Amino acid sequence: MPARVLVIQHIPDDHLNEMAGPLGDAGLVVETWFAPRRDTPARDITEYDGVISLGALIGVHDEPDHPWVPTERKLLEQAIVHRIPTLGICFGSQLLASVGGAEVRHDDSQEVGWFRIDMDPATASDPLLASLGPEPLVFLHHHDTFGAPPAGAVLGRTERANQVVRIGETAWGMQFHLEAGPGAILSWLAMFEDDIRTLGGDPTALVAQTLLQWKDYRAMSVGVANAFGRLAAANFAQR
C-alpha cells in the first residue's frame, strides 16, 4: 500500500496547482475530496499520511450554512490527534487555526496582492517552512484572519495580520496561496479586479509583478511541497 495524501478542495479554481507534481515525484498517491460535493473522503483519516486543505469562497464563520465544514473540522482534529502531517492554505489555515482554539474574524484590510511575510526565527529549522526564508514574498487573497491559537503558535505575519500558524508539531497553516501558479493568479486578478480597485490596489501592476515573480514563487512552492512529501513519507514509514 503506497503513502497517500488527502487533498481537501472547496472550489473548482483553487486546487493543488504547483504543488501536485512534487507530491507525485515523492511517490505519494494524491486523493482529492471535493468537500461540497461528497459527504466524506474515500478513506478514514488514519489511512492517509498527509492532509492538505485548500482555499474557499466562504469563511469559518459560515460553518452553520455548509455541512461539509464541521465534517472537515473533525477530520483536521483527528489528523492532529494522530500526528498526520497537515497543511492548511488560506481558508484551510483559518479552519486549522480555529481547530487550535484561535479566533477567526473578518479582516477589513482584505490583503490582495504580493506581500512580504515576517517569519519567526524558529522557522529557520522548521521541517516544512525552512525553505521559505526569513521574508518570503507571497501572494495573498483573503478576507478573514486568525488570532494566536492556544494550542499552537503564530510563525509569520504582515503588518496587518497573522499569516502562518502551527498547531501542535505536525500541522501548519498559511494564509498565502503558495500553491498558485501564474495562470491561477492572473485569473483571480481578472475575476476580482473591481474588488482590488475598491481596496486601493492596482490590478495592472499586480499582473506585471506576477509575471516577474512567478519563477521564484514556483521554486518556493516546490520547496514546501517537497518538504511536505518528506513528512508524509516519514509518517507512512512509521505506521
CA distance 150 to 130: 23
Q: Residue length, the chain?
A: 239
Helix, coil or strand: residue 18: helix
30 close to 23: Cβ distance less than 8 angstroms: yes
235: confidence class by pLDDT, cuts 50, 70, 90: very high
Residue from 191, 87, 181 nearest 139 by CA: 181
What is the CA 76 to chain-centroid distance, rounded?
13
Q: Which letter, b or e, does each residue of 49-67 get, where b requires 16 or more Cβ atoms within 10 Å of its Cβ?
A: bbbbbbbbebbbeebeeee
**Domains of the chain, first to last:** 4-180+219-238 (3.40.50.880)
Tell me what pLDDT residue 109 has. Answer: 64
Residue from 14, 111, 114 nearest 56 by CA: 14
What's the whole-model pTM score? 0.97
Tell me what pLDDT residue 200 has. Answer: 87
Give per-residue pLDDT as tens, 149-158.
999 999 999 9
Provide the 8-state DSSP code for 163: E
CA distance 189 to 48: 34
Residue 165 bridge partners (DSSP)? 154, 173
CA distance 223 to 213: 16
Give per-residue pLDDT as tens, 187-217.
999 999 998 998 888 999 999 999 999 999 9
Give per-residue pLDDT as tens, 26-51.
999 999 999 999 999 999 999 999 99
Give per-residue pLDDT as tens, 130-147.
999 999 999 999 989 999
C-alpha cell at 102: 484561535
State the Rg of the chain over Cα.
Answer: 17
Pairing of strands 4-9, 50-53: parallel
